[in-house]
């Protein structure tokens, strides 16, 4: 039996006998049993290579998943059996969640790519630190252009609303509120 298999057996046996055994204790025992099998491993690597597979596969420990709450109830954590997890994974459709606001306009990827290439060319053309600061100062404009391409346009009513009225001037005329 090779060293790796001896360490796996030791970890399995130790977890059955004492499930609360620490990773450090297991690692120390493994170094005594088969030092070449754990040579150069950190505690995290040892945990990932030896302890975690035993916990997940052989001891039946599973992470609890959130069940979908009934309307009006708060969600509670429910542990699922491995068989239930596999069957629900087969029946679910794999799809990306929808973005609020719909999908981007056709050709948006090419337009965004073009905007980013223009920005990169501007950055490359900056010869002095001042030029670079000027180009970077325009990053908000680049972001606004990208958002205009990606986000669908809002209704005309939302676009044409007047800006909020400025605050009334103070009687002294200096912009400070009266004390």
DSSP string, 118-170: HHHHHHHH--SHHHHHHHHHTHHHHHHHHHHHHSPPPPHHHHSPPPPPPPPPP
Confidence (pLDDT) at 179: 47
Q: Quick check: 157 pLDDT over 50?
A: no
The DSSP code for 65 is: E
* Mean per-residue pLDDT over the chain, rounded: 75
Give domain limits for the chain.
3-58, 108-153
Tell me the percentage of the chain whose pLDDT exceeds 70: 58
Give per-residue pLDDT as tens, 80-105.
Answer: 566 666 655 555 555 555 555 566 66
Per-residue confidence band for 156, with pLDDT thresholds at 50, 70 and 90: very low
Neighbours of 46 (CB within 10 A): 21
Q: Is 47 left (phi over 0), alpha (psi -120 to 50) or beta?
A: alpha
Confidence (pLDDT) at 72: 55
Across the range 116-139, mean pLDDT stands at 88
Q: Quick check: 66 pLDDT over 90?
A: no
In whole angstroms, give the CA distance from residue 132 to residue 128.
Answer: 6
């Amino acid at each position: 039996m090779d060293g790796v298999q001896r360490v796996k057996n030791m970890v399995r046996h130790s977890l059955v006998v004492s499930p609360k055994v620490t990773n450090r204790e297991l690692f120390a025992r493994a170094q005594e049993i088969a030092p070449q099998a754990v040579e150069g491993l950190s505690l995290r690597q040892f945990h990932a290579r030896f302890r975690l597979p035993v916990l997940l596969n052989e001891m039946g420990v599973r992470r609890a998943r959130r069940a979908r709450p009934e309307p009006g109830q708060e969600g509670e954590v429910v542990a699922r059996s491995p068989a239930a997890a596999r069957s629900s994974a087969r029946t679910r459709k794999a799809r990306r969640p929808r973005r609020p606001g719909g999908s981007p306009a056709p050709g948006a990827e090419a337009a965004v790519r073009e905007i980013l290439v223009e920005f990169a060319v501007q950055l490359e053309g900056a010869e002095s630190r001042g030029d670079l600061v000027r180009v970077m100062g325009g990053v908000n404009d680049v972001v606004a252009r990208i958002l205009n391409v990606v986000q669908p346009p809002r209704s005309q009513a939302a676009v044409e609303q007047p800006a909020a009225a400025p605050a009334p001037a103070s009687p002294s005329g200096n912009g400070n509120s009266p004390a």
